[in-house]
Amino acid sequence: MKQKISLRTRAITILARQEISRAELARKLHPHVGEGDNLEVLLDELEQRHWQSDARYTETYINSKSRLHGNLRLQQSLKQKGVDAELIADYLPDKDTQISNAVIVLQKKYRKPPADLKEKHKYMHFLAYRGFSMDIIHAAIQQAWTDTSLLDEDEYWQ
């Protein structure tokens, strides 16, 4: 016969594997709540012991994703995971960091500046999809190829 795993043990097992928001942890544990279990009390205890922290989760999430995604996408993802908007704002990268991240993402995807307006719109759409705001996108497209002295393909063969 299979032994019933306590709600507390399930929570600790989840937290041992990954940082997770309080809302996500509650969502994962909810199907396993039995008679006599109080999910909110358990979540409060885990938070008080610093085993679960929305602030730590938010910082970790943003540090791992901000090099690839803009603030709009980061905010949306974290809100979906139940993190408070004010807490998210505390950890989002500043404008200069966002621009440099957008430049790196842009240069990795596209090796040369846009040849025409249609291509520029394609680049802009790509960055917008990644969650960068329009002011960041414009700045990144302006900076992306002015800072570097990349050789044209023809110059390699001379």
The pLDDT of residue 34 is: 83
C-alpha pair distances (Å), 65 with each of 29, 74, 127: 26, 8, 14
114, 120 contact by CB (below 8 A): yes
Where is average pLDDT lowest: 23-37, 60-74, 76-90?
23-37
Query: Who contacts 59 (Cβ-Cβ below 8 Å, separation ≥6)?
Result: 91
Pseudo-torsion of CA 146, 101, 123, 156, nearest 10°? 50
The CATH code of domain 95-148 reads: 1.10.10
Domain residue ranges of the chain, discontinuous segments joined by +: 7-52, 95-148
- Provide the percentage of residues in the chain whose pLDDT is more than 70: 91
Predicted TM-score (pTM) above 0.75: yes
Nearest to 76 by CA among 128, 121, 15, 137: 128
How confident is residue 1, by pLDDT bands cut at 50, 70 and 90?
A: low
The closest of 79, 3, 6, 86 to 45, measured between CA atoms, is 6
Per residue in 68-96, pLDDT (tens digit) is 999 999 999 999 999 999 999 999 999 99
Name the DSSP class of 145. T
Tokens 């507390």: give the residue: 8
Say whether pLDDT at 2 is over 90: no
